Amino acid sequence: MTKPLLLIDVDGPLNPYAAQRERRPPGYTTHRMRPAGWTETRPLRVWLNPGHGDELLALSGAYELVWATTWKDEANDWIGPHLGLPELPFVDWPEMHGAAPGGTFWKTQYILEYAQGRPFAWVDDDITSYDRAYVERNHLAAALLLHVDPRLGLLRPDFDALADWAAAR
Rounded Cα gap, residues 53 and 42, in angstroms: 27
Residue 3 above 90 pLDDT?
yes
For the chain, percent of residues with pLDDT exceeding 70:
98
Q: If we measure between CA atoms, which residue out of 139, 153, 155 comes closest to residue 11?
A: 153
pLDDT band at 1 (very low <50, low <70, confident <90, very high): low
Give the three-class secondary structure for 3: coil
Residue 95 pLDDT level (bands cut at 50, 70, 90): confident
Q: Considering the entire predicted model, what is its pTM? A: 0.95
Q: What is the pLDDT of residue 41?
A: 85
Determine the average pLDDT of the residues in 101-125.
Answer: 96
Q: What is the DSSP letter of 14?
A: T
What's the whole-number average pLDDT of the chain?
94
How many Å apart are CA 154 and CA 147, to the nearest integer?
9
Judge whether residue 156 has pLDDT over 70: yes
Q: Which CATH number fits domain 5-167: 2.60.40, 3.40.50, 3.30.390, 1.25.40?
A: 3.40.50
Least confident range of 26-30, 68-72, 81-85: 26-30
Cα separation, 49 vs 65, whole angstroms: 17
User: How much is the pLDDT for 84?
Assistant: 98
Does residue 37 register a pLDDT over 80? Answer: no
SS3 state of residue 126: coil
In a 13 Å sphere around the CA of 167, the CA atoms on its Cβ side amount to 8
